[in-house]
């Protein structure tokens, strides 16, 4: 199996989306360094898609980003699912498994990433579930800061909540830079202050993506457009603070010509170098 992602060097990746499969298979080495998959979309998949996954995993390291663990949810964690994920991570020698700092289920799947209340009770609840997940997985988990559009309860701000969860759970952070920007506009905080307040030792990877400008005061995280200049600037600042962590360009639909995605990946590479030099 392919060597794991080398987190000691700058690397760039793309999500393994079926709409991009032919482009990813045909891409020359060097266009990207790793592929990110949602394990629940690939566990047990056979046929042509399973063969394509195995072939790509021979060429590129895989990173895993989950969609359905529901770390903040009220229902008990799905231990059977976590055991399946562990098997998938072991099979493909995956160095990083991340999930969203949110919840997505109650009596059943809600098919959305819903925001957690920023309360002490929520910190203790989600941190305990992260620790349980790490015990079952036999490895550290990285949680991702999510975009949110309504706040159910805010006894503290997002930065304080995020840091509290990271400390109590003793887990890592997948820093989504576009989500920082989107939330900063939608909820009125300074994105640079948010970056400055995160414990630099917790950040192990980054995401960057495009968003939709609904208005000057409302941004929607879509993963369906090119990265905005303001987000590129924030990404460079993130590199200056946290180092050139492995970075995924998220694109889930509305795919452009593959050459346009490669150009964005090249921008990431350039900013990794420039941002580290700034730092």
- Helices 229-242 & 177-187 angle (0-180, nearest 10): 120
Q: Residues of 35-50 as b/e, b for ≥16 C-beta within 10 angstroms?
A: bbbebbebeeeeeeee
Amino acid 114: pLDDT:
79
* pLDDT by position in tens, the chain (length 279): 343 454 446 899 999 999 999 999 999 999 999 999 999 999 999 999 999 999 999 999 999 999 888 898 888 999 999 999 999 999 999 999 999 998 774 554 444 577 889 999 999 999 999 999 999 999 999 999 999 988 889 999 999 999 999 999 999 999 999 999 999 999 999 999 999 999 999 999 999 999 999 999 999 999 999 999 999 999 999 999 999 999 999 999 999 999 999 999 999 999 998 876 665
| Burial label, 77 (beta-carbon count in 10 A; 0-12, 13-18, 19+) | middle
Amino acid 102: pLDDT:
87
The pair of three-digit structure tokens given for residue 270, joined into one six-digit string: 């350039």
Q: What is the DSSP string of 34-63?
A: EEEE-GGGTTT--HHHHHHHHHHHHHS-EE
- Rounded to 5 degrees, what angle do the CA atoms 71, 16, 178 make? 60
3-state secondary structure of 207: strand
- Could you tell me which residues come within 8 angstroms of residue 193 by beta carbon, excluding any fewer than 6 positions away? 159
* Phi, psi torsion values for 102, nearest 5 degrees: -165, -165
Contact, 32 vs 264, CB < 8 A?
A: no
Residues 104 and 112: their CA atoms lie apart, in Å, by: 6
3-state secondary structure of 184: helix
| Burial label, 156 (beta-carbon count in 10 A; 0-12, 13-18, 19+) | middle
Amino acid 74: pLDDT:
87
3-state secondary structure of 277: helix
- Helices 229-242 & 258-278 angle (0-180, nearest 10): 40
Residues 274 and 102: their CA atoms lie apart, in Å, by: 32
Amino acid 152: pLDDT:
84
H helices of the chain, in order, are: 21-26, 47-59, 79-91, 120-137, 158-169, 177-187, 191-197, 229-242, 258-278
Contact, 64 vs 98, CB < 8 A?
A: yes
Report CA-CA distances (Å) from 133 to 10, 78, 99, 169, 170. Answer: 28, 9, 11, 10, 12
Residues 115 and 152: their CA atoms lie apart, in Å, by: 7
3-state secondary structure of 69: coil
The total of other beta-carbon atoms located within 10 Å of residue 105's CB is: 17
């Amino acid at each position: 199996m392919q060597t794991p992602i080398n987190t000691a060097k700058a690397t760039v990746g793309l999500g393994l989306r079926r709409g991009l499969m032919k482009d990813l298979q045909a891409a020359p080495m060097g266009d990207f360094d790793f592929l990110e998959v949602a394990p629940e979309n690939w566990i047990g998949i056979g046929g042509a898609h399973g063969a394509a996954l195995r072939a790509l995993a021979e060429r590129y390291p895989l990173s895993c980003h989950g969609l359905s663990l529901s770390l903040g949810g009220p229902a008990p964690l799905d231990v059977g699912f976590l055991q399946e994920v562990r098997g998938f991570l072991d099979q493909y020698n995956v160095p990083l498994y991340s999930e969203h700092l949110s919840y997505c289920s109650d009596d059943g799947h809600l098919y959305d990433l819903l925001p957690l209340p920023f309360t002490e009770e929520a910190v203790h609840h989600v941190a305990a579930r992260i620790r349980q997940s790490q015990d079952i997985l036999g490895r550290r988990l990285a949680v991702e800061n999510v975009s949110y559009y309504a706040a159910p309860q805010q006894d503290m701000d997002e930065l304080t909540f995020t840091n509290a969860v990271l400390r109590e759970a003793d887990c890592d952070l997948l820093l989504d830079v576009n989500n920082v920007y989107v939330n900063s506009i939608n909820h009125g905080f300074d994105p640079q202050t948010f970056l400055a307040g995160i414990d630099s030792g917790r950040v192990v990877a980054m995401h960057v993506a495009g968003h939709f400008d609904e208005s000057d005061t409302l941004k929607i995280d879509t993963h369906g457009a090119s990265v905005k200049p303001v987000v590129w600037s924030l990404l460079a600042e993130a590199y200056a603070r946290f180092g050139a962590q492995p970075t995924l360009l998220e694109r889930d639909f509305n795919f452009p010509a593959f050459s346009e995605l490669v150009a964005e990946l090249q921008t990431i590479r350039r900013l990794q170098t420039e941002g580290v030099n700034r730092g």
